[in-house]
Structure 1
Amino acid sequence: MTRPFHPFEALATQLLPHSSTSHNDGSHDQSHLQRVWKNVCAIQEKEGGDLRILLAATVLHDCVAVEKNSPLRSRASTLSAEQAQHILAKIGWSGQDCEAVGKVIQSHSFSANIRPVSLEARILQDADRLDAIGALGIARCFYTAGRMGSGLYDPCDPQAQHRPLDDKRYALDHFAAKLLKLAEGFQTKRGQEIARERHERMEQFVQDLLREL
């Protein structure tokens, strides 16, 4: 039997109603939280870190929903961090633990460009970014492009050889603009190892797609 948030099922059940997974975004639904938690556990097993803090940060890291094309996107992690601290304080967490979770959440986002300081912050950032690359990253990229109304690629110049990259218009551009850069920035040794494997899958996909085009 699958136990998605083991060994903190009770805490996860308490926090999931606040996670904002009910909004209409299949790339940031409860299955995303489950995958991030799986990544967290895989990294924490090798690196250490407080799993209780990490569980709360995992479930609440997107508790304020901000669309990819919103002008508030760069503040999404800060807004979620503030909301998470409020949620945890209401259920009786200490101020110190609320602050710890908030700092972990604030630095997880690529868009925020905030350097993670604590071990838990480095783990969550790596765990969340792992879900943005590899086969899952490819699936999420094209799913999000569909939601945003983007095209698959520029039929006249799919590799953007004679134009600027524009990943708001073309899903394929998002690989060069962001996804193929993510593996360079992982914070933990275990995260780096997994990221290299997933990066290779994305490179192979882009080569296969261009070959078919």
Structure 2
Amino acid sequence: MKLDEFITNKESLRLIERTREYARHFFEREGTHGFSHVERVLNLCMHIGREEGADLEVLALAALLHDIARPLESSGRVEDHAVEGARIARQYLRSLGYAEDKIEEVAHAIEAHRFSRGPEPRTLEAKILSDADKLDAIGAIGIARVFMYSGEHGRDIEASLRHFEEKILRLKDLMYTETARRMAEERHRFTEEFIERIRREIEGEI
């Protein structure tokens, strides 16, 4: 995706590209929450944000920075990557002289992006980031990510299917924006079809 299709201001584009490179260095390896996930969330945010009339600069910065502390959480160095990510984002954006009100909008979106814990997103940009993060767990990409995670953690197919039923299939009903709800319906349907197919194959029916 070319960002200049969504953001035409050259200064904004330079800031976002600089932030992309800053965010990238936090991820030493790929995986279910690697930098490719960040890039997909950014793409989703731009598409949803344009439809919903969001501040695309704030949204792009929040998307790029939303998981920068995930590796720290995974290694046990911090308890909550959203809280730590917001702290790092504030520090980084202040070092660039970014406007304080915009910094707080970015930080809030990062703090509120996790669907499983608070705070509740207050702004449109925070709601879109949360929606985009959830959308990346549904559909073809979501299926791939579930099995990537299973491979990383030695989880078998049955355990993976339980994860779909306990978490993934509930996500479509947790979207905040109308655009994300439409996207989630299609991805959810694809996921249900996959689960039905794999269960039939497990039973030897196909």
Aligned residues between the structures: 196
Say yes or no: does 1:48 pair with 2:53.
Answer: yes
Instruction: Identify the range of structure 1 (53-62 vs 140-149) with the bigger mean alpha-carbon deviation.
Output: 140-149
CA shift, 1:211, in A, is 0.2
Contact 2:112 2:119 in 1 (8 A): yes
The alignment partner of 1:56 has SS state of helix
Contact 1:21 1:28 in 2 (8 A): no
What are structure 2's unaligned runs of at least 5 residues? none
For residue 3 of structure 1, what is the amino acid of its counterpart?
A: K
Please state which structure has a larger fraction of its residues in helix: 2
CA shift, 1:9, in A, is 4.3
Say yes or no: does 1:150 pair with 2:155.
Answer: yes
Say yes or no: does 1:3 pair with 2:2.
Answer: yes
Out of 98, 104, 108, the position equivalent to 2:109 is 104
Out of 169, 180, 197, the position equivalent to 1:191 is 180
Q: Quote the Cα distance in structure 1 between the aligned partners of 2:150 and 2:176.
A: 28
CA shift, 1:39, in A, is 1.1
- List per-residue Cα deviations over 1:177-205 (Å, max 9, x = no partner): 11001111000001000001100111111
Q: TM-score, normalised by structure 1?
A: 0.83
Contact 2:83 2:111 in 1 (8 A): yes
- List per-residue Cα deviations over 1:48-75 (Å, max 9, x = no partner): 1111100110100001124787778872
Say yes or no: does 1:12 pair with 2:16.
Answer: yes
Out of 132, 141, 147, the position equivalent to 2:137 is 132
CA shift, 1:138, in A, is 0.3
CA shift, 1:3, in A, is 2.2
Out of 49, 54, 63, the position equivalent to 2:68 is 63
User: For residues 37 and 29 of structure 1, do their structure 2 counterparts lie closer, same or farther at Cα, with a shift above 3 Å needed?
Assistant: same
Contact 1:61 1:80 in 2 (8 A): yes
Structure 1 moving runs of 4+ over 3 Å: 4-9, 66-74
Aligned to 1:163: none
Aligned to 1:165: none
Say yes or no: does 1:25 pair with 2:30.
Answer: yes
Contact 2:27 2:71 in 1 (8 A): no
Q: Quote the Cα distance in structure 2 between the aligned partners of 1:111 and 1:147.
A: 22
The alignment partner of 2:70 has SS state of coil
Q: TM-score, normalised by structure 2?
A: 0.86
- List per-residue Cα deviations over 1:7-54 (Å, max 9, x = no partner): 354223311233255222332333222221221122122211111100
User: For residues 110 and 3 of structure 1, do their structure 2 counterparts lie closer, same or farther at Cα, with a shift above 3 Å needed?
Assistant: same
Out of 118, 124, 142, the position equivalent to 1:119 is 124
